[in-house]
Structure 1
């Protein structure tokens, strides 16, 4: 049942053993020996054997009398928790969680209370190596007990807060790359605590809006840029859950009540959007994670734009400069995330009384800056990130570019600015000025998004903006060529090195193109 690598043999052996244990009269000592054998093999070297053991335990818990399960519950529970915490196989861990939930649902209230106390004592205790396992078990208990778990939540949330704040401080203290076990476990504790918190708010959505949890949500936003991928992904899920809960709570009156929600404040929305833009600089391989980035980015941009459009402070000097100190600090941090060199200057131009940027409404400067940054990022990343950004442009353009606002001079300037920043990277991709090889599907998507934006702003405005982009790029190219000619005369050595670099680049491009053609023929 355990050692065989043939699935049919393992299943047949399991059926025979289960039938023997159920129908054949054996002593308690003999039964205990069989159960001990099964539990000891949860550490078997091959995952197929461990899966067979878990299937057997699942069947035993389902079919054995409740009295026997109750008697063996603590032993089952402890061995299963060890397996859940230490096993490296995802399928085995998932099966272990299923067996634990079944066990919790089958035992008597007295045994259930014992399991609860064990789990809570591990999580509330001062032994960090138990926190991640305890968080996983508590999450499973929430799934089983549902509303019955509510009375235990208040005792757990302070621990969740402390663990998350410690995880936020790890990158700041530059401890991420340390090879010690404490650093490795720190992200695990934070990750499984976030999974626990996710299950809590899924079961009790109103907890999202508790005032005493605002610092916890701030920590979650900080973790959007944590070095570990799992923490970034779970933070994205929680932010999406928060947005969905707010939308449901507001019932169409989002602009009237969003000031009461911690993540719906302008600086919070901008910080989330900039964090997601920074995530886009890293290659995304998970489709679900990419969808969450897209969803959260679209929501944060559109909601921020809606807030700025309906805010009573039409002049940005009376709005951005009146933000509270902590919100201004978050705003500055968001700008510096996107551009460490110029971010502070842009922030100062936004909150100061004097600005040299008169060509567009300063009220929407943060939106324009986001769109411009996303466009720049799209030209330096892989296809998947590029598709996310272009899809964002397609989704936000109808919300940002309101045809009714095109009738007013200020509104027309804003809408043209938004359209320009979105169309600029699309023009480069569609017209072959991206500076790299663009796949056919990305180019096709860019053309579709370009067509979608042209329908939103109208053909006349589209032609005007597109022509302006073409002239701008041509002007830059002409200026660069003129500078190259001057360098060729003034500094021939530098010009020769530049030509060698270009030749190497063209050679590499030709090699990639040939390889792509060969791969196409082979496939």
Structure 2
């Protein structure tokens, strides 16, 4: 019994214990296929590299690639995600080859790809191995749809793909995949009931997306859809959508909608464009008037320009009739729109627009009759604060159209009666508060004056005769009124470079007319001396009121240069003293603007060459002497004032010291951190080359 008890008992388990080594550790089971996928992955990587680098390009490699297709099909069913991803990347390249094995296995491969998408293409997937697998599957599927034309995708499979596309369009990380696949579907012109819903989403994305490249992709896809599919009446809804989005609150969305409309205008067949031309004109024109952003306005104008370029002449005539109706409308915004669109039409048709002038000119004259301000001789400039913005914009657009007509249809200026009426309206509008309107009026007067014969007008002025036409009907009073109205634009407090230069160009014509008018004893007689004195008063006003600004002085100096170049020697000599005096002042003053001083030197050189050295030197010496005399007189008057009226003298001295302090503070601020200040001399002497 003791032996039985001491005998070890047997194991109650049926399965024997696993053998152990000497160290009492279990031995792991091994298999020859455990790491086989690593070798397969390496082989697929090599194959993908060769295909990507196009090392197997050419028909001679097709027999070597054909046996790989069944292997790729088997690898697609691997449980290792990395293998499936590499296989799809290889198939993405293999599908471009016309291989017998591909034709045999394409249906099965397509089914496997759909199974992968069904298993892994879940919403919210954005990174990781599964995302790479889905990305490769979509790319491979896109190639199958686009390039493998001998294989037809089933309708159920197409619906599945559209479902995935619609899902991915809402995911910023996968929108590129969706657009690639959708482009492939559109390329094959496949159609399903779900296609319209997907394309509506694409159209909305082209406007609402915050990413520029997404909007560009969406516009490209939608344009491909609307141009390649027979949509019939559904085109109306798509165009209406994009037209309505020109009022989208965000600028990027409006710009995208306008670009899409411009794509339609440039790509639609002519009959289709004619059908929608009226819609585009009305909606885009209204938005161009109401748009606040200049970039959007320019884009809309570009759309209308492209439309007018493509439309045949009979269809443009119908749109022009609409423009004429708008020009006669009671609402000023409609008239503004018509003027702006008509200006676009002028720039496109150029000289052929001449045939439309008989119908346009009577309506054009009525635009000024409605906006006619109270005429006033020798117009004084009013305040530049516009009270009626719509009226300002309307007149500005009318003048822009009128200037384009003058430029593109020069024969229009031969319409004597019409041009005379328009010129008189323009001269009255030189008193208009808004600067743009005054500039347009001055520019139109420039075209009118350029069409007149200065010599003939001068003869009429001397003989006191009259003819029909602007200025011809009243040469003396007309020239005086025009000169004073133009000089009134040269106000130092409101001087703008563009307006000042246009006024100077117009006054050059006046100088050409007045050069043959002799001097008379009366100071206010209209002649060249009177004109030069008017401009000298303008220079003095700028020096007194706004000495820091040089706009008017620059413009007048350019006028002097033009006068010296254009007028005859006798005419220049008669007013040489008054022409040289402002130039001499700027050349001798040290604190003059550098550019203005250089301009004064150049103009004085021209005057010296015109007059001759002796005449020029004598006139300059007289000017210098007169300036020194006036300076001495002012100094003597100040000294006398200290004796006769000490209180007033003290007040002037206090004001002078205050101005010096303020000037010193400004100079210290400007010179801060710029090194040592160099003291400027108040007066500099002419060097020999400037005097001679």
Fold match (TM-score > 0.5): yes
SS at match of 2:647: helix
- 1:298–1:476 CA distance, 2 compared to 1 (3 A): same
Residue 123 of structure 1: how far off its partner (Å): 0.8
Deviations 1:292-350 (A, max 9, x none): 3443333332x223453xxxxx5759xxxxxxxxxxxxxxxxxxxxxxxxxxx953xx3
The answer for the alignment partner of 1:491 in structure 2 is 645
The equivalences for 1:20-419 within 5 A come to 20-29=225-234, 31-107=235-311, 111-146=315-350, 149-169=353-373, 183-213=388-418, 214-246=420-452, 262-263=470-471, 265=475, 267-282=477-492, 288-301=498-511, 303-308=512-517, 346-347=523-524, 350=525, 364-377=528-541, 379-380=543-544, 381=546, 382-400=549-567, 402=569, 405=570, 415=572, 418-419=575-576
Cross-structure match for 1:465: 619
**Cα separation, partners in 2 of 1:46 and 1:400, compared to 1, 3 Å:** same
> CA shift at 1:499, angstroms?
0.5
Are residues 500 and 476 of structure 1, via their aligned partners in 2, closer, same or farther at CA, if it must alter by over 3 Å?
A: same
Distance 2:519 2:616 in 1: 28
Seen in structure 2, the aligned counterparts of structure 1 residues 285 and 24 have a Cα distance that, compared at 3 Å, is farther
Distance 1:46 1:497 in 2: 60
| Alpha-carbon separation, structure 2, partners of 1:491 and 1:43 | 71
Q: Which runs of 5+ in 1 are unaligned?
A: 309-313, 318-344, 351-361, 406-413
Q: Residue 3 of structure 1 contacts residue 49 of structure 1 at CA under 8 Å; is this kept in 2?
A: yes
Q: Distance in 1 between matches of 2:382 and 2:656?
A: 40
Check conservation: 1:223, 1:235, Cα contact below 8 A.
yes
CA deviations 1:211-239 (Å, max 9, x no partner) are: 32212111112323422111122123222
> How many Å apart are 1:82 and its aligned residue?
0.5
Q: Distance in 1 between the 2:255 and 2:550 partners? A: 38
In 1, are the aligned partners of 2:246 and 2:254 still within 8 Å (CA)? yes
Q: 1:509 to 1:420 in 2, by over 3 A?
A: farther
Query: Who is 1:502 aligned against?
Result: 656
Measure how far apart 1:132 and its partner are: 0.9
Q: Matched residue of 2:489: which SS? A: helix
For the pair 1:456 / 2:620, whether they are aligned, the reply is: no
TM-score (norm 1): 0.76
Mapped partners of 2:458, 2:490: distance in 1: 28
Indicate if the aligned counterparts of 2:215 and 2:256 stay in contact, CA closer than 8 A: yes
Higher RCO (C-alpha under 8 Å, 6+ residues apart): 1
More helix per residue: 1
CA contact (8 A) 1:142 1:149 kept: yes
Alpha-carbon spacing, 1:162–1:45, altered in 2? closer, same or farther (3 Å):
same
**Equivalent pair of 1:401/1:418 in contact (CA under 8 Å):** no
Q: In the superposition, relative to structure 1, how do residues 463 and 207 fare at CA in structure 2: closer, same or farther (>3 Å)?
A: same
SS state at 1:379 partner: helix
Structure 2 SS opposite 1:169: coil
Deviation at 1:242, TM superposition (A): 2.5
Determine if contact 2:514/2:528 at 8 Å carries over to the other structure: yes
Cα gap change, 1:148 to 1:419, in 2 (>3 Å): closer
1:203/1:20 CA distance change after superposition, 3 Å? same
1:404-423 Cα deviation digits (max 9, x unpaired): x4xxxxxxxx7555121122
How many matched pairs?
A: 456
* C-alpha deviation, 1:107, in angstroms: 4.0
Residues 368/136 of structure 1: CA separation in 2 closer, same or farther (3 Å cut) = closer
Structure 2 gaps, min length 5: 1-205, 676-692
Answer whether contact 1:70 1:107 (CA < 8 A) is retained: yes
**Residues of 2 paired with 1:168 and 1:445: CA distance?**
40
Q: Distance in 2 between matches of 1:136 and 1:64?
A: 25
> Which residue of structure 2 aligns with residue 329 of structure 1?
none
How far the C-alpha of 1:426 sits from its partner, in A, is 1.9
| Paired position in structure 2 for 1:342 | none
TM, length-normalised to structure 2: 0.59
Larger radius of gyration: 2
1: CA distance, partners of 2:314 / 2:566: 56
Residues 519 and 128 of structure 1: CA distance in aligned 2, closer, same or farther (over 3 Å): farther
* Inter-CA distance 276–45: structure 2 relative to 1 (3 Å threshold): farther
Once the two structures are superposed, residues 165-185 of structure 1 have per-residue CA deviations (whole angstroms, 9 ceiling, x without a partner) of 5545169799978876xx322
* Deviation of 1:520 (Å): 6.4
